[in-house]
Amino acid sequence: MQTFFTSLYSALISIFQSQRPADYGLYKTDLFSLVGWSTLGVALLLVLAFYYLFNTALRTGLFRTTHWVLTLALAAGLGTLLAHSLSTGHGAEASSYLGYFMVVNMVVAALWFLLLSVLLKRWSTYARTTPFVGPF
């Protein structure tokens, strides 16, 4: 999976910036995989909390599309925060590359949340049609 995350982040960041920083080796060997797995885990936890904790076990009535969008925004914000905190914690220098990495991880977190929502929503009691109705 390290190759997957390295390819994903490298390709998406290269849309914004083609020049790699001096500490690109750190990103390639450690940060892309660490941040990728962390982002996937956070997105999974938020999907499970939204569909199965709040809308099945607790019956809170948080099944509207607005609630889903707020949870999606939370996932995206946490993705940005994860990219920044894990990168600086592992010694990455503050640079434009780190900024683009944070933006790309925000998008990746939102996409993970959307994909996991489509895959896992059908077994929810109250939110199986959130955010959209269809064969998904």
Lowest-pLDDT choice from 18-22, 45-49, 62-66, 85-89: 62-66
Distances (CA, A) of 98 to 16, 24, 38, 91: 12, 10, 17, 11
| pLDDT exceeds 90 at position 129 | no
| pLDDT exceeds 60 at position 1 | yes
Structure-model confidence comparison of residues 105 and 64, the more confident one: 105
Answer whether 136's CB lies under 8 Å from 44's CB: no
Q: What is the model's pLDDT at position 134?
A: 65
pLDDT tens figures, 57-89: 877 778 888 999 999 999 999 999 999 999 999
What value does the mean pLDDT take over residues 96-105? 97
**Phi-psi group of 59: left, alpha or beta (phi > 0 → left; psi -120 to 50 → alpha; rest → beta):** left
Q: What is the model's pLDDT at position 56?
A: 80
| pLDDT exceeds 80 at position 20 | yes
Give the model's confidence band at 32: pLDDT under 50 very low, under 70 low, under 90 confident, else very high.
very high
What mean pLDDT is reported for the chain?
A: 92
